[in-house]
């Protein structure tokens, strides 16, 4: 059969057409009565299915026109409407000549059953003759107007409800947009890039009020390579291409830099022209800072391992040089000229040892000189020295908190760190200026702790703020790298790397805030000391102790020259000395020999000193153990107790240090 479907709503029209075509029928469609009447007169259908309320000509008028046309009046006319007021609608539809009055929505099988009834009646006679009572034209017109009026009232109420629902939705969205406070703001700009709307939350993110920002977005971009791509991104967005989120750097009202992650989408009008661009900006400054800190920590960790490996071998060589120089100097007491040469060798070797200790200060994880300290006391004691270092052109201001918490750190390392940072501040200040050193108690929450790679808890915060030239981002990212210096030949590049290592070794963190022309602020966080004064140990050194002995000592070192050196040194002190080149051979010696003290290197192939010590502690608990290393890192430190780890002797060492430690252990 050939159907003509008349429906102004596209979704309903497509659904009816598809349902009928599925049953094998031929289907034409129209969006209103005028179009339907024109198509019916050109090519009459077998059945017409029409909605009622439509623009230009409604379904009732269409039915009246069809029934008035001699060529069309016998075509079955089915009304299918969603706007049903009362029984009078159906009465009018049948009075006009309709054969069915169906109410949307109907299940597909019910709808098709009604259609089949109409189709089945076609051969039996004239299905177009309605069984409804005949009414005159005036009465039909009256019913028509009354029905359409009611339907328009219903449509009007529906539209009003939709308008109210839309307004409520817009109000909810606006409330959502305006309630976002800390990290997001929304905006709209036209095709030229001029803002036409900014959500109030921009003030919490960037400090600007919305009315202050209704200019071109490029006014707020910093001049860096990242932001050079923003304009191109917006151009592609306006052209209709879907663009992924991008990042840009914005200068806030207070001059600080904020990183934003931005997602934009273009909105087009009915003609396909650009209407405006909608965007949402997310402040990701904290995330970027966390990423920067993580990269810096990873880089420093890698540098620490590299330097540690080099230092291990270098310290072994220095140990050999210094050890034999010391033995040689003792033999040349009656030859002062030769003894002077040896003394110069020892002096140069000691300088090399100091250089290595500087390198290791940012990679070593032990803090053997630590004690309970009040930073305020240290700063007050060092104030005069610091002022002399800064010279009279720079004013030193101490802003010290009352009741400052105690810390656990090495006072010498702390003083070195303060001096290093003060000298850097002085060299960054041209002419007169100021350096403020501030201390405060500070509690770090979980969020900030993750950003700084710290544990949440109580910290002592030390801040140094200068009025110097400041740094750009490239310099700021490198200042803690060993050997990096901005002072040319005047700098070694080790000062701030030592500061970084010292702070991290104490379990703290350091952050740097600086901009060119605006000075530098360095903030150090030290964990609060949670012990008591009774936990502190003060070692009393008895210089009159006898350093000779007759006990048996087992030496273990994979560096043969060092093994021979230690053998000569200890043999001269009267000890019985056994030697082993690695951990496995040392265990073989212990199976047959009675040993009082094990003296072992840490870094060895196969079995390191920590692993060897753990086995000896378990199998031979009476044997005393002393470990030595040019650099130990974190290799198997979990297999021994803290005493062994904290009492590690670092190479190169003097003979007196070794003799004293051996006697302390054997006499302990």
The three state secondary structure string of 422-487 is HHHHHHHCCCCEEEEEEEEEEEECHHHHHHHCCCCEEEEEEEEEECCCCCCHHHHCCCCCCCCCCC
Is position 238 within any domain? yes
Kindly report, residue by residue over 39-61, the tens digit of the pLDDT.
Answer: 999 999 999 999 988 888 888 88
Is position 463 within any domain? yes
Kindly report, residue by residue over 67-110, the tens digit of the pLDDT.
Answer: 989 999 899 999 998 765 567 778 888 888 888 888 888 888 88
Q: What's the domain count of the chain?
A: 5
Kindly report, residue by residue over 16-40, the tens digit of the pLDDT.
Answer: 999 999 999 999 999 999 999 999 9
> Residues 437, 523: one domain?
yes
Is position 335 within any domain? yes
Is position 288 within any domain? no
Is position 365 within any domain? no
Is position 544 within any domain? no
DSSP 348-368: HHHHHHHHHHHHHTTT----T
Query: Would you state the pLDDT for residue 502?
Result: 81
Is position 229 within any domain? yes
Cβ partners under 8 Å of residue 569, min gap 6: 323, 327, 655, 658
Q: List, for the chain, all residue ranges whose pLDDT scores fall below the cut of 70.
A: 83-86, 123-162, 165-183, 216-231, 240, 296-297, 299-301, 303-305, 307-309, 312, 354-355, 357-369, 482-495, 531-546, 631-641
Rounded Cα–Cα distance for residues 433 and 96 (Å): 98
> Residues 13, 139: one domain?
yes
Kindly report, residue by residue over 222-249, the tens digit of the pLDDT.
Answer: 666 556 666 677 777 777 677 788 888 8
> Residues 354, 405: one domain?
no
> Residues 87, 201: one domain?
no
> Residues 403, 508: one domain?
yes
Is position 33 within any domain? yes
> Residues 115, 241: one domain?
no
> Residues 378, 527: one domain?
yes
Query: Would you state the pLDDT for residue 130?
Result: 45
> Residues 279, 321: one domain?
no
* CATH for 189: 3.30.450.20
> Residues 14, 143: one domain?
yes
Query: How are strands ordered across the β-sheet holding 394-399?
Result: 394-399, 433-444, 457-466, 520-527, 509-514
Query: Would you state the pLDDT for residue 150?
Result: 56
Structural domain of 609: 552-667
Task: Report the predicted TM-score, pTM, of the whole model to 2 decimal places.
Answer: 0.40
Rounded Cα–Cα distance for residues 349 and 345 (Å): 6
Nearest to 440 by CA among 383, 508, 509, 523: 523
Under DSSP, the state recorded for 24 is: T
Rounded Cα–Cα distance for residues 185 and 179 (Å): 10
> Residues 657, 574: one domain?
yes
* CATH for 59: 3.40.50.2300
């Amino acid at each position: 059969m050939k159907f003509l479907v008349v429906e102004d709503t596209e979704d309903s029209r497509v659904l009816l057409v598809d349902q009928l075509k599925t049953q094998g029928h031929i289907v034409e469609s129209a969006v209103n009565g005028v179009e339907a009447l024109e198509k019916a007169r050109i090519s009459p259908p077998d059945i017409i299915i029409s909605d009622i309320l439509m623009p230009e000509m409604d379904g009732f008028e269409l039915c009246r026109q069809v029934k008035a046309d001699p060529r069309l009046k016998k075509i079955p006319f089915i009304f299918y409407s969603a706007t049903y007021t009362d029984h009078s609608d159906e009465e009018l539809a049948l009075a006009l000549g309709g054969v069915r009055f169906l109410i949307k929505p109907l299940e597909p099988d019910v709808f098709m059953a009604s259609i089949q009834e109409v189709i089945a009646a076609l051969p039996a006679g004239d299905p177009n003759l309605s069984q409804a009572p005949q009414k005159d034209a005036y009465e039909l017109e009256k019913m028509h107007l009354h029905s359409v009026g009611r339907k328009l009232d219903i449509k009007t109420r529906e539209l009003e409800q939709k308008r109210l629902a839309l307004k409520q939705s817009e109000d909810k969205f606006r409330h959502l947009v305006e309630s976002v406070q800390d990290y997001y703001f929304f905006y709209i700009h036209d095709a030229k890039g001029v803002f036409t709307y900014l959500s109030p939350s921009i003030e919490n993110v960037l400090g600007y009020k919305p009315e202050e920002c209704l200019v071109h977005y490029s006014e707020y971009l910093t001049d860096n390579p990242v932001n050079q791509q923003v304009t191109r991104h917006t151009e592609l967005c306006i052209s209709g291409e879907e663009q992924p989120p991008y990042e840009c750097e914005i200068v806030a009202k207070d001059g600080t830099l904020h990183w934003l992650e931005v997602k934009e989408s273009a909105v087009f009008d009915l003609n396909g022209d650009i209407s405006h661009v909608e965007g949402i900006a997310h402040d990701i400054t904290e995330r970027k800072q966390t990423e920067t800190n993580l990269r810096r920590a990873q880089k420093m960790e890698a540098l620490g391992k590299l330097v540690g490996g080099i230092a291990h071998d270098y310290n072994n060589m220095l140990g050999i040089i210094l050890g034999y120089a010391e033995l040689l100097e003792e033999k040349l007491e009656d030859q002062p000229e030769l003894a002077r040469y040896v003394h110069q060798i020892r002096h140069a070797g000691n300088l090399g040892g100091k250089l290595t200790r500087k390198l290791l200060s940012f990679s070593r994880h032990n803090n053997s000189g630590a004690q309970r300290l009040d930073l305020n006391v240290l700063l007050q004691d060092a104030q005069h020295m610091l002022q002399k270092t800064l010279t009279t052109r720079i004013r030193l201001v101490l802003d010290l908190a009352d009741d400052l918490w105690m810390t656990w750190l090495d006072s010498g390392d702390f003083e070195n760190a303060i001096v290093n940072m003060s000298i850097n501040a002085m060299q960054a200040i041209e002419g007169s200026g100021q350096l403020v050193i501030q201390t405060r108690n500070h509690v770090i929450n979980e969020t900030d702790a993750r950003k700084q790679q710290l544990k949440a808890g109580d910290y002592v915060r030390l801040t140094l703020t200068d009025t110097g030239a400041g740094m750009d981002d490239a310099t700021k990212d490198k200042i803690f790298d060993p050997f990096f210096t901005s002072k040319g030949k005047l700098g070694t590049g080790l000062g701030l790397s030592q500061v970084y290592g010292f702070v991290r070794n104490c379990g703290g963190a350091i952050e740097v805030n600086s901009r060119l022309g605006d000075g530098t602020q360095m903030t150090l966080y030290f964990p609060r000391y949670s012990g008591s004064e009774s936990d502190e140990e003060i070692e009393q050194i008895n210089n009159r102790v006898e350093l000779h002995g007759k006990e048996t000592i087992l030496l273990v070192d994979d560096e043969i020259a060092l093994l021979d050196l230690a053998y000569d040194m200890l043999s001269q002190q009267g000890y019985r000395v056994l030697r082993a080149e690695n951990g496995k051979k040392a265990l073989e010696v212990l199976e047959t020999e009675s040993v009082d003290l094990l003296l072992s290197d840490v870094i060895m192939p196969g079995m390191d000193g920590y692993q060897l010590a753990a086995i000896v502690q378990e199998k031979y608990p009476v044997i005393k153990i002393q470990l030595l290393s040019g650099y130990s890192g974190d290799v198997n430190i979990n297999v021994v107790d803290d005493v062994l780890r904290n009492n590690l002797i670092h190479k190169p060492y003097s003979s007196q240090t070794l003799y004293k430690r051996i006697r302390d252990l054997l006499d302990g």
